[in-house]
Amino acid sequence: MPIIEQNTVSALNKAGGKGEIFITHLLTPNEMLGKCQMFARVRIPVGASLGVHQHIGNNETYYILQGTAAYTDNDKVYAVKAGDTTFCADGDTHGIENIGDDDLIFIALIINTK
């Protein structure tokens, strides 16, 4: 079957963030062949966040599908909305918080740099 079974996991206070977030993995490690580490749809309910954390050995892209967020890039904070793409390079830190009235939903892609 070419249609992949998805696997949703939840995490509480992820990277020191607030509340519970939900990560739906769209690919398994087998399909990513060591090139990527995660390809997922992330849902962050109202008021919750994914805490600021550093990426070492990989970079991460978020493509915002729905909602409004405060995106922290190293020491600066940016407002992001549906349609925006954010990029955290290897060695940088980032985090994201739902500051809107609806679920924040985005695609997350982690590409290994080594």
Please, which residue, 46 or 89, has the CB nearer to its own copies? 89
Q: Which residues contact 57 (CB under 8 A, 6 or more apart)?
A: 90, 112, 113, 114
Sign of CA dihedral 87, 92, 97, 99: negative
Q: Closest separation between CB of residue 24 and its own copies, Å?
A: 9
Q: Closest separation between CB of residue 52 and its own copies, Å?
A: 12
Radius of gyration of the chain (CA): 14
Give the binding site for its own copies (CB under 8 A).
1-4, 6, 26-27, 31-33, 35-36, 39, 41, 59, 61, 63, 65, 71, 73, 78, 80, 84-89, 92, 94, 107, 109, 111-113
